[in-house]
A and B are shown apart, each in its own frame.
Chain A
Amino acid sequence: SAVISQKPSRDICQRGTSLTIQCQVDSQVTMMFWYRQQPGQSLTLIATANQGSEATYESGFVIDKFPISRPNLTFSTLTVSNMSPEDSSIYLCSGQGKETQYFGPGTRLLVL
């Protein structure tokens, strides 16, 4: 299985600020994705991180709010911009292996 790491594992932030989450995957991964899991809810795809180009966002998510970079095959960042308490969630990075999608441990974000 693929190894995926994320940092930070958790953070508490003030509203109006921004947080950048980093994701590192191993070489078995081709596609990379970012999901949001709101408290007590299921996972919702934010975007597909494309290497060297703009991410592909799902309906309801925009680049200005969630800018994503993927400068190379194994690294991606998600920024949560101009945060509000509604952004308090777990943010998970995932990577598509040959047949299975693997997940990082998640970043738990609390916005005060």
Chain B
Amino acid sequence: AQTVTQSQPEMSVQEAETVTLSCTYDTSESDYYLFWYKQPPSRQMILVIRQEAYKQQNATENRFSVNFQKAAKSFSLKISDSQLGDAAMYFCAYRSALNSGGSNYKLTFGKGTLLTVNP
């Protein structure tokens, strides 16, 4: 079974600075997807960024980028120019790329990292 580990329960960053959130995972599969989701106090889960394991290039979405190290099974999220609205719980998630049934679409989540942005 796959597992996702987020070793930082809480992080803080000053507004306009950069912060990196860590995520490691364990899997025996070679093809999969990795995600970062954001859950603000409103509790709506919002997709931040997605990475396909077969792509060597790191995904980027505006101020958000990842450092995907497949051999090390590491998937960190970098937030540049942090804004007050970035304050939220961030979840790293794994999904198999196998299409052999509905259960392979399930997401396995880490425990989350609570990010505080200080003005």
Bound Cα distance A1, B44 (Å): 14
With a cutoff of 8 Å between Cβ atoms, the chain A residues found around residue B50 in the complex are 99-100
Bound Cα distance A50, B102 (Å): 8
Flag whether B62 is at the interface (Cβ < 8 A).
no
Q: In chain B, residues 34-87, which have Cβ atoms closer than 8 Å to a Cβ of chain A?
A: 35, 37, 42-47, 50
Number of A interface residues, CB 8 Å? Answer: 24
Of A101, A102, A108, most B-chain CB atoms within 10 Å: A101
Q: In chain B, residues 81-119, which have Cβ atoms closer than 8 Å to a Cβ of chain A?
A: 91, 95, 102-103, 105-107, 109-112
With a cutoff of 8 Å between Cβ atoms, the chain A residues found around residue B107 in the complex are 43, 45, 94, 101
What's the least CB distance linking A57 to chain B, in Å?
Answer: 10
Could you say which of B45, B95, B111 contacts A92, with CB atoms under 8 Å apart?
B45
Number of B interface residues, CB 8 Å? Answer: 21
Q: Quick check: B95 and A43 within 8 Å, CB to CB?
A: no
Flag whether A48 is at the interface (Cβ < 8 A).
yes
Q: Quick check: B111 and A108 within 8 Å, CB to CB?
A: no
What's the least CB distance linking A66 to chain B, in Å?
Answer: 15
Q: Quick check: A101 and B95 within 8 Å, CB to CB?
A: yes
Of B33, B43, B45, most A-chain CB atoms within 10 Å: B45
What's the least CB distance linking B53 to chain A, in Å?
Answer: 13
Instruction: Indicate whether A101 sits within 8 Å of B44 (C-beta atoms), given known contacts A41-B111, A42-B111, A43-B91.
Output: no
Flag whether A105 is at the interface (Cβ < 8 A).
yes
Additional A-B contacts beyond A106-B43, A106-B45 (15; CB < 8 A)? A31-B105, A41-B111, A43-B45, A43-B107, A43-B109, A56-B103, A99-B50, A101-B35, A101-B47, A101-B95, A102-B47, A103-B37, A105-B42, A105-B44, A106-B44
Would you mind naming 23 contact pairs between A and B with Cβ atoms under 8 Å apart? A31-B102, A31-B105, A33-B106, A41-B111, A42-B109, A42-B110, A42-B112, A43-B109, A45-B106, A45-B107, A48-B103, A48-B106, A56-B103, A90-B43, A94-B45, A94-B107, A100-B47, A101-B47, A103-B44, A103-B45, A103-B46, A105-B42, A105-B43
Rank and list the top 8 A-B pairs by shortest CB-CB distance, nearest first.
Answer: A103-B45, A48-B102, A42-B109, A43-B109, A45-B106, A42-B111, A106-B43, A105-B44
